[in-house]
Chain A
Amino acid sequence: MIRALALVALAAFILLPLTQAVMLSFIATLPHDGVPEGSVSLVNYANVLAAPELRAAIGNSVIYVLLNVALCIAIALPAAYALARYRFLGDRHFLLMILVFRVTPPVVLSLPIFILFAKLGLVNSPVGIALVHCLFNLPVAIWILESFIRAVPSEFDETAFLDGHSGASFFFRHLIPAIAPGIGVAAFFCFIFSWVEVVFARILTVTEGKPITTAINAMFGFQTDMGMVMAMTCLSLLPGVAMIWFVRNHIARGFALRA
């Protein structure tokens, strides 16, 4: 009985702010053509999808997040393998370094990163954001993948090499399928941390390539259409919710920290 009450309270606490957003997104908060104010309709979603700058913002966010996930997994896999299977000079220092970069607040680095990326021509480009988000996503990806690779006994590698597999073919044909759930979990965390990040994404997009987060801030004005803002917010939640669904059975593997 107490357990049921606690679960209900938890669900209410988590869902309450979202409920309000979902409800508002289906209500016309400003009068539109043929839709009186206060009526229930899909006009907000139609307006969001009809606005070219909002469509572009969704596209921009999707591009840099996917780029970031691909980059993080591709770079973290060999690094995680090295850390899981070998000891070497400075391995602990490397782990300490990624930990430090993971916890360095973005505001600390925002100014020089802007200057550096402006010189390299990476401002306003999704590549710039994807690169800079690796700063906090690469460590997380390395920790998660390392803990999954460690769970695979090293005899697994040795058997594959004895069977005559080269390094690359072992990596793609044996290791990656064996730790597929780990790659899923790592991709999940990279995806959400990149999708929700605001500080870097905002300063690195001055004139174009604006992400979804900046686009929503820009919707506030003299007469804000709250319903439309909430419709945009709800749309921005969909990819994250889909990601949660895909990794639901593996999400609780978590990550083990080594430093």
Chain B
Amino acid sequence: MRPYNNRAWLLLLPALMLLVAVGALPLMAVINYGFHDIFSLSNVHWIGLDWFSDILQSQRFLASLGRSLLFSALALAIQVPLGIAVALLLLSCGRWAVWGLMLCALPLVVPWNMIPMLWLGLINQDTGILGHWLAAVEFDYKFTALHTWMLLLVMDTWHWLGLVVVLAYAGLSTIPTAYRQAAHIDGASRLAVFRHIELPRIAGGLAIVFLLRFVDSFMIYTEAFAINAGGPGDATRFLSIELGEEINGFSYGQAAARATLYFVMVLIVVCAFVMITRRPEAEA
């Protein structure tokens, strides 16, 4: 058991000070702006909860919220099982696995604004490697909502699969071979091995994957904006794209209120996540 010592705070002090300066103070400023009508930084009026009630009552906000939730759900449903499958595949490759891991990590180091550029180049109907075939099946990401969604999901999966693979592999590689041998002798099915031996080992890593992937896809901005700027129509207008429009339109009070709402949503998700993951720890 670790000793109880409040002087440990001294070691946390630099981290705490930095996070307060670049995180907590700006956050308080955002919340404060949300209650004001801001014409310029010197011309600010208190308007209470007007922005919040405006936003929460607007149909567009609810529609964007629905789209963002759907996008996150689809991204998680594709990336988590696929990532686990790839990690299991790599695990069976012995010492070649490290090459597979490096390959999967490659998209993680591509600057975010270049990812849509790479994909748009790839599917360009005149110059792209895939352009020819996609033109044959009448793939049109500009004007067909379904195709825009498919492109965004494929691109997001390409980008983030590596994170799921690395963290799942990290858990799987700690399983002693004796466990698998024992399961094999007992005649356990592949599914049973996954459920009772592999899943418990990767649960910790998967928890953080779920949280990071949920929040990042829920607030996807750079990539989604570059592909189609929310179009066709409003089909890929996600929450963050709405916020970006308001900031670019200098509607700072409303943007701040919206940012506050998003922060509250993220906070609720984090709290729910912590409550769910803490319970098994308490039993152990």
Interface residues in B24-73 (C-beta closer than 8 Å to A): 25-27, 29-30, 33, 41
Binds B, one of A46-54, A127-135, A172-180: A127-135
The 8 A-B pairs with the shortest beta carbon distances in the complex, nearest first, are A240-B109, A254-B170, A112-B29, A105-B219, A82-B11, A112-B26, A78-B11, A82-B8
A79/B11 in contact, CB under 8 A: yes
A199/B222 in contact, CB under 8 A: yes
B5/A101 in contact, CB under 8 A: no
Q: In the complex, what's the smallest C-beta–C-beta distance from A56 to chain B, in angstroms?
A: 17
A104/B212 in contact, CB under 8 A: no
Contact of B8 among A14, A85, A212 (CB under 8 A): A85
A248/B98 in contact, CB under 8 A: yes
**A residues lining the B interface (CB < 8 Å):** 3, 6-7, 10-11, 13-21, 24, 71, 74-76, 78-79, 81-91, 94, 96-105, 107-113, 115-116, 131-132, 134-135, 138, 142, 154, 192, 195-199, 212-213, 216-217, 226, 229-230, 233, 236-237, 239-241, 243-245, 248-249, 251-257, 259
B15/A76 in contact, CB under 8 A: yes
Look across to chain B and name the residue whose beta carbon is closest to the beta carbon of A202.
B113
B111/A253 in contact, CB under 8 A: no
Contact of B15 among A75, A240, A244, A254 (CB under 8 A): A75
Cα distance, A91 to B171, chains bound together (Å): 25
Contacts of B208 in A (CB 8 A): 255, 257
A-B contact count (CB 8 A): 261
Interface residues in B60-102 (C-beta closer than 8 Å to A): 86, 89, 92-93, 98, 100-102
Q: In the complex, what's the smallest C-beta–C-beta distance from A103 to chain B, in angstroms?
A: 4
Known: A108-B263, A112-B29. A14 touches B107 (CB 8 A): yes
20 of the cross-chain contacts (CB-CB < 8 Å) are A10-B100, A20-B129, A83-B8, A98-B15, A102-B212, A103-B211, A104-B23, A107-B259, A108-B27, A111-B256, A131-B18, A138-B18, A196-B109, A216-B111, A216-B113, A226-B121, A233-B117, A236-B111, A248-B102, A254-B205
Q: Mark B97-137, 1 if CB is under 8 A from A, else 0.
A: 01011111111111111100111011000011110000000
A113/B11 in contact, CB under 8 A: no
Look across to chain B and name the residue whose beta carbon is closest to the beta carbon of A13.
B158
Known: A18-B118, A97-B19. A3 touches B4 (CB 8 A): no
Contacts of A102 in B (CB 8 A): 212
Known: A112-B33, A254-B171. A99 touches B107 (CB 8 A): no
Cα distance, A192 to B107, chains bound together (Å): 10
Query: Is B150 in the interface zone, CB < 8 Å from A?
Result: no
B259/A99 in contact, CB under 8 A: no
Query: Is B266 in the interface zone, CB < 8 Å from A?
Result: yes
Cα distance, A240 to B21, chains bound together (Å): 29
Q: In the complex, what's the smallest C-beta–C-beta distance from B145 to chain A, in angstroms?
A: 23
Q: Mark B213-242, 1 if CB is under 8 A from A, else 0.
A: 001100101100000000000000000100
